Structure 1
Amino acid sequence: QALENFERWSTDGLTIPRVSVNVSARRLEDKDLINGLRKLAIKQGTVSFELVESIFLDENDDLVAWNIEHIKELGI
């Protein structure tokens, strides 16, 4: 939804440098997250994920850490 809005705003001539999206801890535990993001072909630097602080207070598992690293590599 956020990407669709971002594209529409750009088409309408609104200059918005980046759109931010809240991401839940459960979403960060999704093993298919990175593949899904790659399919969206998000232009680097145009999307920002907002992570609540409690994500880092919870027991941090390897999959969450791996997903966060790959999200950074995608320019998000």
Structure 2
Amino acid sequence: MSTATATTQKKSAKPVVRSRTVKSVKASQMLTGQALLKDMKLYHKQVVATPKSARDFLTRLGVMTSDGKAKKLIRA
């Protein structure tokens, strides 16, 4: 396989983009790069701030029941 063929077959990698609503402006803003990482770190701090917020996150994610038990995700 020639190098020209190998380079044309590669897919271009898209940057990770996250949309969030800015409360002060009440608009949606696309985040990339360092702004995205900063936003993710802030969200992580909010989720792990209290045991209740962590349980709420895991319940919304679908890995924990509302009574605090882990869901069986793979059924065999």
TM norm structure 2: 0.23
* Greater helix proportion: 1
Greater Rg by CA = 2
RCO comparison, higher one (Cα < 8 Å, 6+): 1
